[in-house]
Structure formats: structure tokens, C-alpha cells
A and B are shown apart, each in its own frame.
Chain A
Amino acid sequence: MPAATRARWVLAAATSVALVASGCSSSGGGSSSSDSGKTFSYQSSEPQNPLQPANANETGGGRILQNLFKGLVDYDPSNAKIRMQVADSIETSDSQTFNVTLKTGWTFHDGTPVTSKNFVDAWNWGATTSNNQINSSWFSDIEGYQDVHPASGQPTATAMSGLTVVDDTHFTIKLHTKVSYFEYKLGYIAFSPLPTAFFSDPTGFGQKPVGNGAYQFVSWSHNQQVVTKAYPNYQGVDKPKNGGIVFKMYNTSEAAYADLQSNNLDVMDQVPPSALATYKSDLGDRAIDSPQGAIQNIGFTLYQPDWAGPDKAKVRQGLSMAIDRDTITKTVLQGSRKPASAWVAEGVEGYKAGQCGDNCTFDATKAKQLIAEGGGVPGNKLTITYNADGGHKEWVDAVCNSIRQSTGVDCVGDPKPDFKTARAAITGHQINGAFRTGWVQDYPLNANFMADVYRTGAASNDFGYSSPQFDQLATEADQAASVADTVTGYQKAETVLANDMPAIPLWYYRTNSGYSANVQNVKFDSFGNPAWTQVEVKG
């Protein structure tokens, strides 16, 4: 299993963050001739669900679907900002009703045109409870979601009242509350259009999808590979520079890395932990080290009386200061992470370094002092729950050592055998003290790192954190007139987190990967995916 077992997958279109020096030598594009008809292979894993856009939330299926489908928008490779794809424009005057205009000329791989109806029908289908789509909650902002997806029981409608088709190229989206940055969400794979053929046989479609993206589906040999080829009529701004992608299934990243080194695999996800120390010398200028929109945190069980009091925030700040992030990322994590100084990951729109203030800077003396001021850690012992199958043991032990040495607080890791057991313990409130947590961006906007995690009652608020001040700032930011105002609004909300410390930010993830000698111009985006269409296969 890859290190991040069943990491929640997040969509991404071809977004790429400027590459650090290591991978640049061949990125100029002129170093060797390329053949736009040739395919390249990518390390993948067998999709866990049928290939339906609203059903993919894991990397295996998700990264295949994001190449087969293209939604209204995606994120620009050069700056991670939003850009229009099938949409010509998305306009709103009140952050609640959005008027969408589609470009003409887009077609599905079966030749039928992409119209407003394809979007509206797809979203309604994905949102409806009885279709059992994993991503259905993505549509919950839309008015009428409760009718197709009630909290319990069967749906009373098959369409959301907030979606109205005006004509083939126009439709409107009405939300039940203001969300200024809603268009950012539209880049997620769940918002893809579906061809009419889908609705007559969704199950069969899931084995043989027909999309509107840069690549069209060719074949799926289960557990072996999924083959795609470039779609000649693709209308997107990112025309493929290669002939297609072959997704080869690997169960271990060690096997994939061995194949990559011998040029039997062209691009991979993430080198195995065993190769972190050597991959840069193994691959030379074909090694990749670029930032990812993901953060690792230690969360606290604020719902327990032990951690509820207002002065316990000081204890948490003290614990945060007791962690020597620099040394741990360099030694135990071998440079595969970067110390965090905020709750939003680097490279995300709205990222502001230093939001955590002194609290994220190692200072043993001050740490001890703060913990004493806050009344000490309950029982003078901290337990950090984590899943043992995700490669977390080493750093949890290191963090515990750091806390023990600098503050004298006893700290132990509490490993759960696997991810789902750990998740069950965390969501079932069966743990004591602290737990490993993290966030991988759904879309590269700071709101995503806060609204979905720290708001009272938010789906991923496993801390039981509830701050009226934070909630109010977040709501204000959501209702702002523009995305720019939302971003600054959430930056203000982030300062509340620095005071309350519901979770300690540890470090940001990085993509440590590489590519074979057969390809060039491989750049990774903040989702940890390569800019698929830009990969050039040497002629």
C-alpha cells in the first residue's frame, strides 16, 4: 500500500506549481524532439469504485476520471488559479445565483455536443441519495439538495430546484446560502457533465466511461491497466502534447520505482519511503520535488472536559512550540515535508506564511512556560492516536520525543492498525487527547482548509471545535462580494485559530517523484498530479 493509504483524493486538473531547480533541465521543451502521437505510462492503482465522476474520491479512479472528463473550470498549471474550460463565463452579482454560459463546440467522445442539460442532469443524478454516489455532498450548496438528498429517508424529488436550464449554452445555479467562491468548487471532478447515454446504464458506463476531456477511454484490463488516448476534438485550453496515458496498476510504490528506474514506467506518484534518501541521485535531473496543497496536523479532542477550558489553548500553544519541526522534517522525514507556519498549505490561493506566529517556532523554554500557565497537560501525559499503516509511526515518535525532551510532558503514540480503524475511533470520539489529522485540498483556496474543518459542526471538524468568533468571520468571508475578499476574510479567521489552537500545524506535504528517460516536460501541480497534457514523449 502506498504511504497515504486511501488518501482522500482530490480532484485536479492540470495544475502545476513552478518547479524547483532539480527538475528544470529538460523543462525548457527544446532539449529533445517529442512525438505527440506517443503514449506515456503512469503509476496507478485499481479504482475502488466504478468510473463515475460523482463516485470517485480516491486517487485510483479520480486521476483517470479527471483526464476523461472536463468540467466548467479547472486550475491553471502555472499559478494554481482558476481558469475557464467548458464554461465561457460564470457570473454572479450576489454570490448566490450564478449564471453559467458554455462555450460552443465541446463534444463528448461519442460525438454528441456538451450542453447545459448534460451538466444539470449529471449534478442532479450525482446528488440523489438513491444513486449512492460517494461525492454527493459536493452538491449540498445548491438549493433543493434536501429534496433529492434528505438527511434520512428517501428523496422526494429527482432534480434540485436551484438548477435551471435556460438554453443549450446557458444555465443558472442558485445556492441556498451565499458562497462567494462557489466557482472554485466547480473544478472538482463531481461537477463533470455526463452524456445522455450515461443515464440509461450508469453501471455499464462505470466500466466504459465516455467523457468530454482531453483523453478518451480505450480499455480497462482490471488490475492491469487502463488505456486512454488523446481526443482529437478536445476543445480545452490545454491541448495534449502526447498521444495518451496508460495507467498501469501497481500495488507497491517500490515495484513502480524499480520500473521507473529501468524506463518501464514513465511517471510515478511518489517515490517509496525507502528511496527518499537516494532518489535525487538515482534520477538526477529527472527527480521532482515540488509543493503539494496538503498539510499534516495534530488535532485535539476539545469535546473532552480535559481539553475544553479556555486556558487549555495555552497548553496547546506550548505543545506546538515544543515540536522541533525543522529537525524532524530534515531527519526523520528526509526532507519530504516542509515545516508549517499556517493552517493553509503553501501554494494555495490565500496562503499566508507565519499565520501561526511564534506558536509554530521551536522554543523549549517558552513552551514549558505556556504549558505551566495553562495548568499543564492533564495527567502530564499526551497520547497521539494515528493509523499504523500510513508510515506515520516514525514522525509521531519523533514529535513525542521532542515534546518529552523540551517540556517533560510524557508523550506516547497510540497506533491503530489501519486507516479505517483510526477513523472510526476519531469520529466515534473514542480517543483521548490528541490525534493525527491532516487536510488535502479539494480546491486550491484557503477557504477549503478552514470552512470544511474548523467551523462549528463542519463535516470534518473531528475536534469538536466551536468558536463563535471563527464562525462569524468565516460566514462573513463566504458572503463577501468577491473571491479576493473571501481570501482576506479567511486570513482574518485564521488568526482565531492561532489563539485557540484546535489543531497544531506540523508541516506541508511535497511531491517527491520522478520520471523516466522516455519523457520530458513533466511538472507536478499542487494536487500531486503531473500536468498530464503537457508531458512530452521523446520521439
Chain B
Amino acid sequence: MGSYVLRRVLQMIPVFFGSTFLIFLMVYTLPGDPVAALFGDKAADPAVVANLKHKYYLDQPLWKQYLHYMGNLFQGDFGTSFTGRSVTDIMADAFPVTIRLALMAFAFELIVGLALGLVSGLRRGSVQDTLVLVLTLVVISIPVFVLAYIAQTIFATNLGWVTPTVQDSKDLSQLILPAIVLGSLSLAYVARLTRTSIGENLRADYMRTAVAKGLPRRTVITRHLLRNSLIPVVTFLGTDLGALMGGAIVTEGIFNVQGIGNVLYRAINQKEGPTVVGIVTVLVIVYLVASLIVDLLYAVLDPRIRYA
């Protein structure tokens, strides 16, 4: 187990370097000059442009910029944005908001999605099953931004239960609606995955054995059926946590949540290299850690899987 984790952590290193370099390359080779763009429609002042480029290390060849950036990164310095704020500060503001939003969405899809999948998987062909299938199909086929606008119109404009946008991004209760919208698509997948998986496992030999042993139905379902059916769901959920954090751009935009998605969107538009690379680097790490946890969970769920 320990050596397996160590091996996985070591594997992360090349992935980390490779992905950050690719992101760095992409951001810095985008067309247009970010420093000249600071001047808007007006002609950029060459002397000031030269000075600013030097200040942001943009007058160096790309490989030098990358080495410089990585060098600073290992000293914990993510660089400085054009506003003069350090990228570390910007991330310290925005990540907690997005983490909360993503965790709430995650909890929502996990609890509701599993419950729906369980109900419909156990009662295939019933009214509840059909209902779940239709509902999830609707959610899957509607783009997130449409869902968000519908939710905004119904719950804020018509019913007046909430404000249309989030007034204080640090207030958990205001994040409920955006979190439900954000988690709804994954919820549909979780429900459908669980349903299929349970349907398959219901006919498995160990299920028949468990029932034949006379175990209470509750134990059969939770200890045997659910646990074995969770493997594909956990795979999905693991990668989804990263996706929720990086993919919140649309939801955060519509509900004006000042999280990582909004910051990233603005930084890409302004071609603010350090901010984009910094945020994406952290997201890459989140993905890597999440997939490691998923792999470790397999062993917990399925006794046949062993890590030596």
C-alpha cells in the first residue's frame, strides 16, 4: 500500500511538469500583446510597454520565462498579476469560495444521485424508475447555462426565495442554488450509473448467497449490493470533483460567484499568464490527488483489489 502510494506520487511529478509546461506554452503563445492591450484603443506608449514587459519578465525567450516561473514557484511564489496583487493572494480569495461551491455540489450529487439511482435500480420498470430516467434525461440534454437561467428566473425573479445573484460569495446559504445547478448534470450521471450498476449486481451470485443466508434486506442492500455497485460511480465522482472546480465558470458567471471560474475567465481574457498558470497548476494537482484517492478507494470497496 505505502509503496503503491509512493509510486503514484512519483508519477505525478512528470505529469505536473508536462501539464504546467503545456499550459504555460498555450497561454504565452496566444496572439495579441497583453501589455499593449492594457492601453485599450489608445496607442501603447513604447517606453512604458518596454518597462512593463521587463517587469513581468515578458521580454525573455519562452523557455527562460518558464524556468523563471518554475524557479519562483518552488519558492512558493506564483507571480504577480497586472493589478499588482500576488497570484497567491488572488487564489487565497477565490479558491475557498469555489471549494465550498464544488463540495456542496458534490454532496448534492452524491446523496441525491445515489438515492435516486438506488430507488430506480431496485425497482426497475416501476413508476419511480421511469420518472428518474425521464428527469435525468432532461437534465442531461439541457445545457448548464439554460438550467441556471431557469433556476434564476423561477426561484429569484418569480418566487423571490433567493436573490438572483450571490451577494456574498462567502455565505454558504446563498451558494445553495448555484451548487444545485452546478451539481445537477453530474447528479444525472451518478443516478444512471448507480441504477445500471445495481441492476447488474442484483443478479450476481454473491447476492443470491447473501439472500439465501437469510441476511436482513437492509444489510444485503447496503453491505453487499451498494458497496459493490459503487466502483464505477466512485470513478466518476473522483474525476468529477476536479471537473466541478474547473468547470464552474458558467455557473459562477451567471450567479456572479467570485470564485476561481470567474477569476480564470477574466485572467484568460486579459492574458494574465501568472494567474492562469497558477490556477490551472492548482487544478492539475487537485485532479491528480482526486484520482489517487479514487484508486485507493477501489481497494476499500472491492476486497479482490490489492495494492502491493
Contacts and interface: CB of A to CB of B under 8 A. Distances in A.
A409 B164 CA distance: 48
A286 B48 CA distance: 43
A8 B41 CA distance: 6
Nearest to A426: B41
Contact of B32 (A130, A150, A251, A424): A424
B269 interface: yes
B10 interface: no
B17 interface: no
B47 A438 contact: no
Contacts of A49: 38, 82-84
Interface of A: 1, 5-9, 46-50, 57-58, 129-130, 132-134, 136-137, 149-153, 203, 206-207, 222-224, 249-252, 254-256, 258-259, 261-262, 264, 389, 417-421, 423-424, 427, 438-440, 459-460
Contact of B165 (A8, A50, A223, A258): A258
Contacts of A9: 40
A432 to B, nearest CB: 17
B156 interface: yes
Contacts of A5: 269
Nearest to B258: A223
A interface majority secondary structure: loop
A268 to B, nearest CB: 12
Contact of A223 (B32, B55, B82, B262): B262
Interface stretch (B58-66, B200-208, B249-257, B277-285): B249-257
Contacts, number: 146
A259 B165 contact: yes
A264 B84 contact: no
B216 interface: no
B88 interface: no
Nearest to B50: A152
Contacts of A423: 32, 36-37, 41
Question: Considering the complex of A and B, which 6 residue pairs feature the smallest CB-CB distances, nearest first?
Answer: A420-B32, A8-B40, A258-B164, A459-B43, A420-B37, A8-B41
Contacts of B90: 222-223
Given A50-B84, A223-B93, A264-B167, A152 B37 contact: no
Interface in B18-51: 31-34, 36-43, 45-48, 50-51
B43 A427 contact: yes
Contacts of B165: 250, 255-256, 258-259, 264
Q: Which of A50, A134, A151, A152 has the most CB of B within 10 A?
A: A134
Contacts of A46: 83, 266
13 contacts: A49-B38, A137-B42, A149-B47, A206-B84, A251-B256, A252-B254, A252-B256, A255-B165, A255-B253, A256-B256, A417-B31, A421-B31, A424-B31
B93 A57 contact: no
A250 B256 contact: yes
A136 B41 contact: no
Given A152-B50, A419-B37, 20 more contacts: A6-B40, A6-B270, A49-B82, A57-B38, A57-B39, A130-B51, A132-B48, A132-B55, A133-B48, A137-B42, A153-B47, A222-B89, A251-B262, A252-B256, A255-B255, A420-B34, A421-B32, A424-B32, A424-B33, A460-B41
A46 B90 CA distance: 12
Contacts of A134: 38-39, 45, 48
A198 to B, nearest CB: 15
Contacts of B136: none
A417 B247 CA distance: 22
Interface in B44-80: 45-48, 50-52, 55
Contacts of A439: 41
Contacts of B265: 251
B40 A58 contact: yes
B261 to A, nearest CB: 9
A20 B168 CA distance: 36
B266 A251 contact: yes
B43 A57 contact: no
Nearest to B55: A132
